[in-house]
Amino acid sequence: MKSRYEAAKQVFVDSVDIEDYIDLDASVAAYKQLEYSLEKPLKMILLFGRPGTGKSILLNRIQEKLKHQKEIHYFDTPAVNEKEFFHKLFKVLTQKDLPSNTEVNFSALVEFCQNLRGKREIIILLDEAQMYGTEMMEKIRLLSDSRAVKFVVSLHKTDDEDLIAKEHFQSRIWEVIELKNATKEDQTAYIHKKLLKKNLFEIANSIKAKDMKLIHKFTKGNYRECNKLLFTIFEICEYYDKNEPAKVNYAHIHHRIIEMSALKLGYIHV
C-alpha cells in the first residue's frame, strides 16, 4: 500500500529544479533586484549568501526567464581548472568548440570581448564562485572590463569566512545582492506552497503553526535544511503509516516526529 507521505517526502528532495521554485516575498525581492541589476551597465554582480539560501535556484530561474531575451549562460559547476573554464567561455562567446589539446590565449580573448562591445551583451552566471582562485577571479574581472561580458558571481563561504569573502569581492564588484535565511512566515509559506503545488492539501494542513515554529527553530530558516528536515519527517511518517499506524496522526504532525527527525539530522542531541 502506498503511503500518503511518500509523495510529500518527494516534494522535499533537495534539488535545483526550476519547477520547484517557490515565489516568496524575500525571493521575489531578490529576483527583482537581480533582474534590475542586470539591466544596469554593471560589470560584475555578487550574489551572496549562506549555503541553502536559494542562490542556485535564483540563478536558474533568472536564466530560465531571460534566456529568450538575453544571451545568458549558467555555469553551474565550477571548472576544474583555468583551461577548462576558458574552453567553456570560448564556446559561449564563439559558439565553437576548441580542441582539447589547445590553450586559450587570454589576451586574445580579452581583445575578442572588447570587439564585441556594443554588438553583443553576454551574461555569465557563475555558481559556486568561491571555488575559483584569486587569479582566476582577476581574469574574470578583466574580461568583464570589456563591458561585453557581464558576470553574476554567486558564492558562499561558511561562518567566519563570510565577511572576508564579501570584502574580497566587494572591491571588484559593483553590486551585491545578499540572500538570507527565511523568516518563520516565509518558511511557512515555502512549505505550504511546495505541498500545495503537488496537491497535498491535507498534509499541508496537518503542519500547524506550532510545528512551523519548531521547524524554523531547528533549521534557522535555511531552505536546504528545511528540505532535509521535512524529507525526514515525512519519511518517519511514511514508516509509521505503513508499519505502526497508531503512532501517526493524519490531522497533525506530532512534535515527537519533528524532534526525532531533528535528532536524526543532528540539529539536537541527547
Size of the site for other proteins (CB under 8 A): 14
> Does residue number 236 form part of the binding site for other proteins (CB under 8 A)?
yes
Candidates 7, 116, 142, 260: give the one binding other proteins (CB under 8 A).
260
Minimum distance of other proteins from residue 230's CB (angstroms): 16
Closer residue to other proteins (CB): 185 or 259: 259
- Span near other proteins by CB under 8 A; candidates 64-72, 130-138, 172-180, 256-264: 256-264
> Does residue number 235 form part of the binding site for other proteins (CB under 8 A)?
yes
> Does residue number 164 form part of the binding site for other proteins (CB under 8 A)?
no
What Cα–Cα distance (Å) separates residue 207 from each residue in 80, 81, 201, 210, 215? 43, 46, 10, 8, 10
Minimum distance of other proteins from residue 254's CB (angstroms): 11
Minimum distance of other proteins from residue 226's CB (angstroms): 20
Which helix (DSSP H) or strand (DSSP E) does residue 46 occupy? strand 44-49
Closer residue to other proteins (CB): 163 or 268: 268
What Cα–Cα distance (Å) separates residue 149 from each residue in 75, 117, 119, 177, 253? 14, 8, 11, 19, 50
DSSP 198-249: TT-HHHHHHS-HHHHHHHHHHHTT-HHHHHHHHHHHHHHHHHHHHH-GGG--
Instruction: Give me the residues that bind other proteins (CB under 8 A), please.
Output: 235-236, 238-240, 243, 256, 259-260, 263-264, 268-270
